Amino acid sequence: MSVISVVIPTKNRLPLLIFALESVLNQKYPFMEIIIADNSDNEEILNYIASIQDVRIKYYRTGSLSLQDNWQYGISKTEGEYVILLRDKVALKSDSITLLSSILKSQNFPDWVSWGCDNINPLTGHYSYQKNGNYEIININTNDIIKSIGNGKWREIWDFIAPQESAIKKDLLIKIIEHPPNKLFFGAVGDIGLAYQLLINTNTIIHVNGSLMTGLFPMNSIGYDCATRSPKFIAFLESGGYGINDCIKHVPLKFFSCLNSTYNDLIEIDSIRGVKIIEPMINLRSYYSMIYKEMIETLFFGNVQKKEILQLESSIKELDPYLYDELIFKYQKIRKMYPLFNRVFCPLIAKGFFFPSQIINKIIDIHHTFKFLTKDQRKSLLLILVVLKREERMKRLESFYSKTALKYLRSNNKISKIQESFN
């Protein structure tokens, strides 16, 4: 059997660490080591680990490292043949490492095995299962994944390549470190940098079509902060020595967004390696559309100014006038909603409420039922529902909204009419 190293990087988050660590200690797989890379500025985690006294745990107090350097430090201390990078807000499911060991053996010990992760929203208690979790084994060509990245299909492919939901051969990680840029976690969003380096150093991903983990999301999520362009993400960038301009220097549209930052990192990795892989594959028309969509959506989080949207529209018009006309037509109704969202939506987000359920819950909690809302608040709630217009989302909202609110919306047929105007 292969020795499997589970690395748990953490900082000042003892309750979350306990959530992750207990799930690993409860695994029945005998050939396992646990690496704790503690970047804390207090001794809470140190004292907790000392109280456990489990020989499988190897504790390292790092301190003063960036998040990405702390992750890499933890990996550098592993002795197993395979490495699992376990975030401290994620727990392994029961006997998942035993199952993983069987998969590794059945697939002749591949370089890279990935799987899914179920999610719990700690704010609502909602549990979302990994789609199609039948645990069948899928062989995926990494060149196909890179082409999908070029076409902007990040959401479709991320579940297959997320390094934090993978078992990776230690030898492969060493190989990556030995070549430029000589870092596993490279760029503003380091896990994406690692995923890309894994892709260009392997031919195949073995993907388990099911979940071996459960995570707390969107709690403490850098990806969420990046997608919403939160001030927390700007602070995270600065802690790693990055600025906004560092995230957009290689991309055609010089506007900061999560997608732009991602493409910028990948192009920079290629540049350091002296190759051009991802840049020629980027479908510019899709790229312009995605950047525009992301910036429009981020308007509603209050972290993008309307003048930036106007500047972006001007840039797209200069690059592709026909696409500009299409985008303006497609998103004109959403752009018109912005003033109302800005008055009602953004102040709640600024106070720390997550999008969308907690904000809507807050409205419902304050006013008890929809019939007590003011006219403007009713309009705001309807517009929020339009943003969440997918049918499956509507079904999930049953648990978030009072029956009075849904009855009102459906009896007046307002949602279907608004949705039709967007189709």
Q: Is 200 part of a structural domain of the chain?
A: no
Q: Are residues 258 and 362 in the same domain?
A: no
Q: What pairing do the DSSP bridges indicate for beta strands 204-216 and 136-141? A: antiparallel
Q: Would 117 be classed as within a structural domain?
A: no
| Counted domains in the chain | 3
- Do 343 and 367 lie in one domain? The reply is no
Q: Which residue has the tokens 């479908």?
A: 283
In a domain, 143, yes or no: no
pLDDT of 215 reads: 85
Tell which of 319, 347, 375 closes a domain: 347
Amino acid at 94: S
Q: Which domain holds residue 54?
A: 1-91
Q: Which of 91, 125, 153 is the last residue of a domain?
A: 91
In a domain, 182, yes or no: no
Residues 343 and 361 in one domain: no
Task: Please report whether residue 29 resides in a domain.
Answer: yes
Same domain, 237 and 343: yes
- Is residue 256 located within the same domain as residue 332? yes
Residue 71 is encoded by which pair of tokens? 């992750």
Q: Is residue 329 part of a domain?
A: yes
Amino acid occupying residue 329: F
For residue 40, the model assigns a pLDDT of 94
- Non-local (6+) Cβ contacts of 390 within 8 A are none
Per-residue confidence (pLDDT) for residue 331, from 0 to 100: 75
Residue 125: inside a domain: no
Q: What angle do CA 202, 31, 174 make, to 5 degrees?
A: 30
Domain presence at residue 404: yes
Choose the final residue of a domain: 45, 73, 91. 91
Q: Which helix (H) or strand (E) holds 104?
A: helix 96-106
**Which two three-digit tokens encode residue 24?**
């690993």
Nearest to 294 by CA among 248, 260, 318: 260
- Chunked mean pLDDT (size 10), the chain, 423 residues: 91 89 92 96 94 94 90 97 94 90 94 91 61 81 94 86 97 96 90 95 95 76 74 80 87 88 93 92 90 78 76 90 88 61 53 46 42 54 51 44 39 36 30
DSSP letters of 237-290? HHHTT--GGGGTTTSSS----HHHHHHHHHHHHHHHHT--SSGGG--HHHHHHH
Distances from the Cα of 264 to the Cαs of 137, 227, 273, 418, in angstroms? 32, 15, 14, 37
Q: Output the CA angle 286-289-293, nearest 5 degrees.
A: 135
Domain CATH number, residue 13: 3.90.550.10
Please tell me whether residues 340 and 402 are part of one structural domain.
Answer: no
327 and 391 housed in the same domain: no
Q: What is the pLDDT of residue 336?
A: 60
Same domain, 260 and 323: yes
Q: Are residues 77 and 30 in the same domain?
A: yes
Report yes or no: 208 and 132 within 8 Å, Cβ to Cβ. no
- Tell me, yes or no, whether 230 and 341 share the same domain: yes
